[in-house]
Amino acid sequence: MSRIGKKPVAIPGGVTATIDNGTLTVKGPKGTLTLGLSDLIDYKVEDGTISVKPANDSKQARAFWGMQRTLVSNLVEGVSEGFTKVLVIKGVGYRANAQGRNLKLQLGYSHDVDLPVPEGLEVKTPDQTTVEVSGVDKQAVGQFAAEIRRWRKPEPYKGKGIAYRGEYIFRKEGKKR
């Protein structure tokens, strides 16, 4: 039995959910998201909640159960509150600047890194060493934050690079004489 799957997803005020033609559509103040539904899972929208249960007792249906409930929960949370990832840049001369629909990164390469911001996402740079990626789709926010981080992962000796806020960087001691 899935402990996560057993819990119904509460639908907050101002959010509506409908199921039609194998698609769950969730509309809220921040936008609209859709999810293709699996045949192995039964979905019901009732009494301000969305309940997710396996359609049969197969191993695959039970394996999908918790994940599908989490995906539904992410849709509801995304259209009501949205998701944000904050990246922190450490290093001398490393900086970021949001310019319209582009993000310009200076990371010690011989060239600047220009990243186009995908549709549906918003990128802010409150200061030169902080990048905030926000949007309604949790997967898209995480993917773009990972693409930014990939340009300069934090290294263990000096801690330079791009890290998520709150991420612990395991530090190593350098050479000894």
What pLDDT score was predicted for residue 174? 87
Q: Do domains 3-80 and 83-164 have the same CATH topology?
A: yes
Distance CA 145, CA 139 (A): 10
Q: What is the pLDDT along the chain (177 residues), one digit of tens a residue?
A: 678 888 999 999 899 999 999 899 999 999 999 999 989 999 999 989 999 999 999 999 999 999 999 999 999 999 999 999 999 999 999 999 999 899 999 999 999 999 999 999 999 999 999 999 999 999 999 999 999 999 999 999 998 999 999 999 999 998 888
Burial class (CB in 10 A: 0-12, 13-18, 19+), 20: exposed
CATH T-level fold of 83-164 = Outer Surface Protein A; domain 3 (3.90.930)
Distance CA 162, CA 154 (A): 6
Q: Model-level pTM?
A: 0.90
What architecture (CATH level 2) is domain 3-80? Answer: Alpha-Beta Complex (3.90)
